[in-house]
Every structure is written in C-alpha cells, then in structure tokens.
C-alpha cells in the first residue's frame, strides 16, 4: 500500500501509525500517538493549564478540582482537533477528493499538521481543520465572514496565512515553520476574536 | 477565449459545491477553499443569469457532479463584479457547456490567492440542496 511504503521514510522520526496498514492497526497507532502527544503537551505546556479555559462543566467550587477540570478541558480540545485532523486525512488522501482536481494530502503534510497542532497554545480557540485543494491542510479560526484567519501547511516547513479583519483590513504572507510557532499566528487569531 | 467584457458586472456566477468541507452549515457561509483555483490557475464557474434554480442545478448535476461521480450539494453564487473588484477576471470557456467560464488572473503567491478566495467566499451566497 502506498501509505506503508511512504511511511518507511519517517519511521525513525514518528510513531508507527499504520503497521500492516490494517484499519485496526491504524487506530491503535493513532491512540498510542495520541497518548504520547497529550503527555508531551501536558509536560511542555504545563504553564498554560493555569490560564482561563472555556471549560464546559466547571461547576466545582473546590479549587483543586477546578484545576483538574481545566486540565480535562485542555485534553478535550487537543483530542477533538486530532480526531478532526485524522478524519480530514482519511477523507482527502486520494486525488480529486473535492470532486474537482484537488491534490491528495500527503503523509508529510499530515505529520506536519500534527506538528503545527502541537505548537498551538490551548488557550486559543480550537481551529477548524480542513483540506485545501492543493493538498495542504488548513487551520481556520472563524468568527464571521469578514473575521477569519487561515493558515495552511503542505509538508515543506512553509506556513501560508491569510486573514480578514473586517471588510477593509486584511493580511497575508508566508513564514518558516521551524521548532516554534511562527509569530504571526497568535496575534492574528486573537485579532479575529477581538 | 473571450474577454471578460462579454459578461455583465451584475451577472451571477455559480460555483458548484461537491464537498461538505467547503461550506459552514452553522451560518450558511462559504469557505475560501470553494474558490481556490486549480493547478491551471482557474476556478470553474457557470453563468446563471436568467436561469431558474432547477435549471442551474440541472447543469450542476449533469455537467459537474455526474461526470465526477459525486453528489451535488449546492452552489456558491457571486456576482461578476465581485470577481472584477478583486482584480480577477472571468473568461467564458464554453467547451464543456455553453455557460461555463473560469475565474482567472489569480496571483502567483499562494497567500494572496488564499486571501482573494476568502474575500470571494465572504461575498458569496450559499444555496444548499435539500438532501434526505
């Protein structure tokens, strides 16, 4: 299978997501990766847990329990985003997935999207993840038609972004996606929602 | 090809939608991906001036969805003037159908194309087909 062949190029750097390329194995691989991903996120972003979260169901009056609930809210955000990313990859990894001439999402792009996702502070609203017709994966923060910020990556360490901040204010550009989140992301997301 | 002068600025153009990820049901809005150009720098649209809804969808079903083996979900309509105001062009390209056209003159830079597609999407009117 194409995925198994492609994946061998990454076996030293990423978890074995699709051993044998069976559906169950893929699910198992994803669960293992998800567990590791959440653990890394909790370790590396422990400071963000004290930030205000839009945690649903935080009805506890006990501060210790409240902290625990905030942590759960963080995990939910990540979990949902990862599920959405996996779904997008499943649905759009074949050519012409949009009915026109869309390029398929490559494994490189998928893995880079996971990397980008791990960099996004959980204090930001959850982005909506979708495939772009050129095979890139887009992360969108949407408030209304004229308040929207979109970034996309295509497996080449380049992040492309565009934003509408009202009818007359807009921005666009590209940045290198290295080990840290490019500086354009957080301010632009916050600007959409202010 | 004919130049965009053949089109009236108030002429509506329909972009047929075959992918549910190209719109937001929550507020009936269109996502920019629906208007992003293909590898040839073209966004395929149909000129629908004076056509009844069912005639428009008939074109979408017969000349877009069925050819591609997909289900037609709806369409995103923009005016020709919306396209021209963004410094894009509309070129009639009637080989697949007399009313077919392409939105062209997309910039080379991807971030700029993305921004223009976002602006088109913001101006677009979404029409969804009822599906059972």
| pLDDT tens series, chain A, 194 aa | 334 333 333 333 344 444 444 455 555 555 566 566 555 555 554 434 333 333 333 333 333 333 344 444 455 688 899 999 999 999 999 898 887 888 999 999 999 999 999 999 999 999 999 999 999 999 999 999 999 999 999 999 999 999 999 999 999 999 999 999 999 999 999 999 98
ipTM of the complex: 0.90
* A88 at interface of B, judged by CB pairs closer than 8 A: yes
What is the 3-state secondary structure of chain A?
A: CHHHHHHHHHCCCCCCCCHHHCHHHHHHHHHHHHHHHHHHHHHHCHHHHHCCCCCCCCCCCCHHHHHHHHHHHHHHHHHHHHHHHHHHHHHCCCCCCCCCCCCCCCHHHHHHHHHHHHHCCCCCCCCEEEECCCCCEEEEEEEECCEEEEEEECCCCEEEEEEEECCCCEEEEEEECCCCCCCCHHHHHHHHCC
B33 to chain A, any CB pair closer than 8 A? The answer is: yes
Residue A131's nearest CA partner among A100, A164, A98, A163 is: A98
Q: Which of A151, A162, A166 to mutate to test the interface with B (most CBs of B within 10 A)?
A: A162
- Tell me which of A98, A136, A174 to substitute to probe the interface with B (most B C-beta atoms closer than 10 Å): A98
Q: Which of B68, B109, B118 sits opposite A164 (nearest CB)?
A: B118
A66: alpha, beta or left? (left if phi > 0; alpha if psi -120 to 50): alpha
Residue among A126, A51, A50 nearest A85 (CA): A126
* pTM for this model (two decimals): 0.77
Q: Do B68 and A130 touch (CB under 8 A)?
A: no
Contact at CB, A162 and B122, closer than 8 angstroms? no
Determine the distance in angstroms separating the CA of A142 from the nearest CA of chain B, rounded to an integer: 10
Contacts of B85 in chain A (CB under 8 A): none
d(CA A79, CA A123): 15
b or e along B91-119 (b: 16 or more beta carbons within 10 Å of the residue's beta carbon)? bbbeeeeebbbbbbbbeeebbebbbbbbb
> Which pair of tokens denotes residue A28?
């198992």
CA distance A132 to chain B (A): 6
**Nearest chain A Cα to B70, which residue?**
A99
Is B36 in CB contact (< 8 Å) with chain A?
yes
Question: Where do we find the tokens 């942590």?
Answer: A71
**What whole-number distance in Å separates Cα of residue B35 and Cα of residue B18?**
12
Could you read off the pLDDT of B20-75 as tens digits, one per residue?
Answer: 889 999 999 999 999 999 989 999 999 999 999 999 999 999 998 988 788 999 99
Q: How far, in Å, CA of B64 to CA of B57, rounded?
A: 10
* Chain A CB contacts of B65 below 8 Å: 99
- Domain ranges, ordered by start, for chain B: 4-128
> Is the pLDDT reported for residue B132 higher than 70?
no
Please name which of A108, A121, A109 lies closest in space to residue A81, comparing C-alpha atoms.
Answer: A121
Strand A137-144 to A128-131 pairing: antiparallel
């Amino acid at each position: 299978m194409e995925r198994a062949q492609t994946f061998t190029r990454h076996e030293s750097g990423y978890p074995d997501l699709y051993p044998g390329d069976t559906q169950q194995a893929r699910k198992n691989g994803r669960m293992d990766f998800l567990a590791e991903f959440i653990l890394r996120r909790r370790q590396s972003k422990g400071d963000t847990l004290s930030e205000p979260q839009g945690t649903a169901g935080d009805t506890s009056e006990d501060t210790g329990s409240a902290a625990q609930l905030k942590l759960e809210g963080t995990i939910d955000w990540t979990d949902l985003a990862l599920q959405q990313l996996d779904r997008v990859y499943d649905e759009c990894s074949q050519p012409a997935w949009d009915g026109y001439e869309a390029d398929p999402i490559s494994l490189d792009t998928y893995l880079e999207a996971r990397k980008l996702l791990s960099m996004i502070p959980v204090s930001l609203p959850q982005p909506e993840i979708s495939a772009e017709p050129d095979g890139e994966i887009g992360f969108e923060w949407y408030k209304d038609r004229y308040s929207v910020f979109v970034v996309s990556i295509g497996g080449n360490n380049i992040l492309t972004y565009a934003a509408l901040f009202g009818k007359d204010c807009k921005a666009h550009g590209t940045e290198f996606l290295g080990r840290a989140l490019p500086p354009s992301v957080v301010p632009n997301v916050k600007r959409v929602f202010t | 090809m004919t130049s965009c002068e053949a089109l009236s600025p108030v002429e509506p153009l329909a972009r047929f939608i075959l992918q549910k990820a190209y719109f937001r049901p929550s507020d009936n809005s269109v996502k920019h991906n629906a208007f992003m150009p293909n590898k040839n720098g073209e966004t395929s649209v149909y000129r629908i001036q004076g056509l009844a809804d069912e005639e428009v969808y008939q074109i979408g079903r017969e000349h877009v969805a069925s050819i591609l083996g997909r289900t037609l979900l709806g369409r995103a309509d923009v005016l020709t003037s919306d396209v021209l105001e963004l410094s894009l062009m509309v070129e009639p390209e009637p080989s697949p159908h007399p009313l077919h056209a392409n939105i062209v003159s997309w910039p080379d830079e991807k971030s700029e194309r993305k921004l223009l597609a976002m602006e088109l999407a913001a101006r677009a009117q979404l029409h969804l087909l009822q599906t059972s």
